[in-house]
Structure formats: C-alpha cells, structure tokens
Amino acid sequence: MNFYEWFFLEKDRAPAGLFSWSHLLSVTIILAIFVALAIILGRKFKNDPKNQRKTMIITSIAILALYIMKLSFLLATRNDVGNTFLENLPFFFCDMMVFMVPIAAFTKGRVQDIVLDFIAICGFIMGFMGNYFAGNIYATHPAFSYLSLISAISHSIFAFAALFVFISGQNKMEKRNIPFVIGILLVFMSLVLAFDYLTGKNYQFFLGGDDTPFGIFLDLVKGNLIAYQAIIYVLQCGYIGVFYLLYYPIAKAIKKKKGS
C-alpha cells in the first residue's frame, strides 16, 4: 500500500469515530493554530483597513480553494459523478462562509457591515461545532486523512474569520442590521430545505441527524420531520438572537469600565 492509498483513499483503515482521541486531538490542534493566528493578525491590523481587507481576501481564497480541492477529489475518485456533485454542494450551515467571506472581502458600505456582523456572530460556532460534532466526517473517515483534514482546516478557517473580524474591530453590530443578519440565515435555510425536499439530500440535516447530535432532536419529536425542522430553525436563528442579547449589555459594561 502506498501513501496515496493510505492517506487519500483510506484503504484498509477504520473510521476515527466521533469524539475519539484522534478526532479530538487533530481538530483541537488545527483550531488552536487558527485561533492564535486570528488573535495575532487581529491585533496587528486593528486600525489598518487595507490589511484587514487583504486578510479577508486571502481567507476567502483559502476557503474557496479548500472547497474546490474537496469537490475535485470526490468527483475524481467516485463513480457516480452527478450524485457526488449534488451531495457535496456548499449548502450546510457552516458552508455559508464559502459565500459570506468573499462577499465581506469584496463589498463596501452597509452590505459589508451586515455580512461582517454575520461572520463575527456565526463563524466561531461554525468552526467549533463543525470540528467537534462532525459525526458525518469522523464516523466514516480516519482523523488523519485527506477529507478529514480538509474539513478540519476549513472549519478552523471559519473560526479564524470570525475572531479576526471581532479582534480587528470590523464588526459594527448596529441594531438596525439585526433583521438582515438573521434574514441571511433564514433565506439560506429555506432555500436549502426546498433543495433537500426536491433532491432527497440531507443538507443542514433537515431530513435526519446523520450521526450528528441533531439526531437527538429528531428522536425527541419521535421522527416528526416538520417539528424537527422547526427546531433546527429555532436553534440556528435563535443562536443569533441570543448572541445579540448577550453582546449589547457586555459591550456596554466593557465600555463603561474603560471610561471609569
């Protein structure tokens, strides 16, 4: 067996398993690297809009490159090209960064403000949940393999983008933009839900838990898909609402402490 068969094709290798030591160790190391990088660059470019934009452009290129690398590999190594393509579109919650980071990098004004707020609010939870609760990845792949590492690096870059935006002070968090920030997610989720019903795919786990903790909620409603899908909407959109509810009093308290 050569390295290609071992690393890329995972020949004669067992899946890592969700929450296994190899899963947790690999994602923790990769996430820690990108968190540290976000802190360093965020502080360095805090009052430097030019380099802030450059960093977001590089981040968007990296995100798109990793997605293309994953999709190209899957299309090249699997027989059913059409089905493989439909199953690997950037339609999961975390995959929104494939669209959001480039938009933030190449737009200006209020549109950019809204998207930067969305990235700041959602990016870290995407990185955390996408790494530590990726039952769809680590239940079927070894931790040290091409597809697992692509997933871990991608989700860690999502967390990097959020922390970088926060630490460099790019997020505005204006209250007038709250409906638009939540609206981005609502529209995206609704389009994905329609796609799932049309194709039978399971993006955002709307049609089943797929070895992720979402399966707990499907069990709670005894398999009722409508109730289960409503829970997913509430969890994901509700997270943004809770974030805002906590952000404003905390920001106010910090500002008051600095002024005293």
Angle, CA of 24, 67 and 139, to the nearest 5°: 35
As a whole number, the mean pLDDT across the chain is 94
- How would you write the chain as a 3-class SS string? CCHHHHHHCCCCCCCCCCCCHHHHHHHHHHHHHHHHHHHHHHHHCCCCHHHHHHHHHHHHHHHHHHHHHHHHHHHHHCCCHHHHHHHCCCCCCHHHHHHHHHHHHHCCHHHHHHHHHHHHHHHHHHHHHHHHCCHHHHCCCCCCCHHHHHHHHHHHHHHHHHHHHHHCCCCCCCHHHHHHHHHHHHHHHHHHHHHHHHHCCCHHHCCCCCCCCHHHHHHHCCCCHHHHHHHHHHHHHHHHHHHHHHHHHHHHHHHHHHHC
Percentage of residues of the chain with pLDDT beyond 90: 88
Percentage of residues of the chain with pLDDT beyond 70: 99
Q: Is the pLDDT of residue 15 over 90?
A: yes
| CA–CA distances in Å: residue 182 to residues 114, 119, 123, 127 | 10, 12, 14, 19
Tell me the pLDDT band of 210, cut-offs 50, 70 and 90. Answer: confident
Q: State pTM to two decimals.
A: 0.93
| CA–CA distances in Å: residue 95 to residues 14, 89, 212, 213, 223 | 27, 9, 16, 18, 26
Q: Is the pLDDT of residue 247 over 70?
A: yes
Tell me the pLDDT band of 214, cut-offs 50, 70 and 90. Answer: confident
The amino acid that residue 52 corresponds to is: Q
For residue range 70-87, what is the model confidence (pLDDT) as tens digits?
Answer: 999 999 999 899 999 999
Residue 45: which of 140, 137, 163, 164 has the closest Cα? 164
pLDDT at 23 (0 to 100): 97
Instruction: Summarize the confidence of residues 197-210 as an average pLDDT.
Output: 92
pLDDT at 209 (0 to 100): 84
User: Torsions phi, psi of 207, nearest 5?
Assistant: -105, 5
For residue range 149-202, what is the model confidence (pLDDT) as tens digits?
Answer: 999 999 999 999 999 999 999 999 999 999 999 999 999 999 999 999 999 999
pLDDT at 260 (0 to 100): 56
Residue 237: which of 164, 192, 179, 193 has the closest Cα? 179
